[in-house]
Amino acid sequence: MLAVAEKAIKESARLKIGEIHHGDHVHAAGPDPHVWLGLEEAADMVRFISDTLQKLDPAHAADFQKRADAYIRKLEDLRRHGEYALKDKKAKIITMHESFGYFARGFKLKLLDTIQVQPGIEADAGKLKDLVDACQKEPGRIVITTEPQYPKGAAQDLGKRPAAAWLERRLAEVDTLETADAVALTRDPANMDADTTERMPQDHR
């Protein structure tokens, strides 16, 4: 995905991120790899893939273009849905791990902090205190996101901690679309449908 992004998205438009440990592999510090969560970036990658396939197989160029145009229209529908759902929302967001930079930029959302220093590793007492301090400096509506593949303990603890400056706190599950149950994918081919990326944000509304 990152290799495609490097070719499809201008370097000046790519976000930077620190080193990320994803269990069996590590993303070195550099470009944020979570480009697929930005709808504008996703559309740029679809265009790049379509253009590349058209050059490789000119005989089917019209088919590649047709499918790319159709998919970009679906991404545009998702963007409009997101703009409607997030209209006038002033919430600040604490994410489970550092993955929502492109999403936040696309919808002009404010990210306060992340719970996990490394994905899958729960925040310790010191990190939780830092998160509480960050929230107290930003009074108002705080949304704490969880992800289906990670434990929710720290997020739930953070949401319950007393802090008079927090006017409202709520937990919301958000799927980053980057992991899947390998057994489920083998057992249920429907989980590999081409429209998974479109359906999952709707499923988690």
Give the whole-angstrom CA distance, residue 97 versus residue 145: 9
- pLDDT value at residue 90: 78
- pLDDT value at residue 203: 47
Examine the pLDDT at 74 and tell me if it is beyond 80. Answer: yes
Give the whole-angstrom CA distance, residue 163 versus residue 132: 8
Q: Which two tokens stand for residue 8?
A: 């499809």
Examine the pLDDT at 22 and tell me if it is beyond 60. Answer: no
Residue type, 107: F
The pTM of the whole model exceeds 0.85? no
Give the whole-angstrom CA distance, residue 105 versus residue 67: 27
The CB-side HSE value for 140 (13 A sphere, CA atoms) comes to 11
Give 205's pLDDT tier (boundaries 50, 70, 90). Answer: very low
pLDDT tens per residue across span 169-193:
677 888 887 665 555 555 555 555 5
Give the whole-angstrom CA distance, residue 106 versus residue 174: 16
User: Which of 123, 80, 104, 88 lies closest to 174, judged by CA?
Assistant: 104
Give the whole-angstrom CA distance, residue 75 versus residue 62: 20
Examine the pLDDT at 57 and tell me if it is beyond 90. Answer: yes
Mean pLDDT of the chain: 79
Average pLDDT over residues 108-115: 89
User: Which of 92, 97, 94, 110 lies closest to 34, judged by CA?
Assistant: 97
- pLDDT value at residue 183: 54
Examine the pLDDT at 131 and tell me if it is beyond 80. Answer: yes
Residue 92 vs residue 170, higher pLDDT: 92
- Count Cβ atoms within 10 A of the Cβ of residue 174 and give its class: 0-12 exposed, 13-18 middle, 19 or more buried: buried
